[in-house]
Amino acid sequence: MPHPWLERSFPGLRGTDYDVTSPATPDYNCIAWAAADSQQWWEPDPFHQYFWPANAPRSQRAESYLAAFATLGYEVCASSEVEAGFEKIALYANRDGIPTHMARQLHDGTWTSKLGPSVDIRHPSLESLEGAQYGRLLTVLRRRRANLRPLPAERTE
């Protein structure tokens, strides 16, 4: 079912097979959702108001995000295609290379995204969220499913 209020901000969703999969909530964001965490908002804020993995730097640079997800076993990979034995996440960035969004691949090759404090959606491709809101796909990360690690219990403080 189309959602015009979403398609106005994400015109790439128009005509695609996407779904809204959760109600809106400010409890977690796309970064947390990429890490399969729906309990807290991940943010590399300099004031330590929000959660961020302990060993990752707190800055808006893409390197901070790569370091944060390296603590979960993710590394940069070349393809966004489904690979047996791996789970993948994607990082979007604006034209300055500043991260704007993250998405996580589902088993069937589609992607799941938390849209800020709004809803979760399942979308068929990474391209469908590219545009003015989130910029373009910057990179894709993957980790072996056998290497799944629990969420970091250690905090930054």
Q: Which of 60, 64, 71, 139 contacts another protein by CB under 8 A?
A: 60
142 lies in the site for another protein, by CB under 8 A: no
112 lies in the site for another protein, by CB under 8 A: no
102 lies in the site for another protein, by CB under 8 A: yes
Q: Which of 49, 84, 107, 108 contacts another protein by CB under 8 A?
A: 49
Nearer to another protein, 61 or 124 (CB): 61
CA distance 81 to 73: 19
Is the Cα dihedral 125, 102, 62, 151 positive or negative? negative
Whether the CB-CB separation of 152 and 54 falls below 8 Å is answered with yes
CA distance 45 to 52: 8
Whether the CB-CB separation of 90 and 137 falls below 8 Å is answered with yes
110 lies in the site for another protein, by CB under 8 A: no
Residues between 119 and 138 that touch another protein (CB under 8 A):
133-134
Q: CA dihedral in degrees (25, 9, 63, 84; nearest 10)?
A: 80
Q: Which residues bind another protein (CB under 8 A)?
A: 9-10, 26-32, 39-43, 45, 47-52, 60, 99-102, 114-118, 133-134, 155-157
